Structure 1
C-alpha cells in the first residue's frame, strides 16, 4: 500500500500509529521520563546560549531511535535554530 501513499502524500493512519508506538517503546527502553527530557533540554539550551543567540520559538528536542546504530539504541535529536553568534 506504500504505492498508494506516494500519490496521496499523507502517511496512512496505520503508519502514524506504528510510528507513535515506536516512540513510546523507545522512551520506555531508554527509561527517560518527560521531566528528565525537559531538564536535559534546559541544560543543553543554557550551554548553547552562552555562545549563540537561539530562536526559542522553534526548538525541537526529542528522543528517537537511530537505525544505523547496532541494536537500535535511542538517540537524542536536537534541532535548535541559531539566530547569530555572540560576540566574545
Structure 2
C-alpha cells in the first residue's frame, strides 16, 4: 500500500516537473533530490509504525501474552515477551 502511494506521488511530481520544463529554469531533478529520499524514508517509517501499532493492539486484544514492538532480523513487527522462570 505504501509503495503504491509513493509511486502515485512520484508520478504526480514527475508530471509537475514535465509541465514546468516549459518554463526555463523551473525544472527540478526529483529523482536525485535528497529531500525526495528523506520523504520516502519518513513515509516508510510512518507506515511501519502504523503497522506495528495495529499488530500490537491486535495481539493484546486476542492473546493473554505480552508483546513489544522492536526491530527484528526476521521482519517481525512485534515480539512476544516470555518470562524467565527460575530453575527449581
> Bigger relative contact order, structure 1 or 2, given CA contacts below 8 A and separation 6+?
1
Which has the larger Rg?
Answer: 2
TM class by shorter chain equals: 0.3 to 0.5
Q: Which has the higher strand share?
A: 1
Larger helix share, 1 or 2: 2
TM-score w.r.t. the length of structure 2 is 0.32
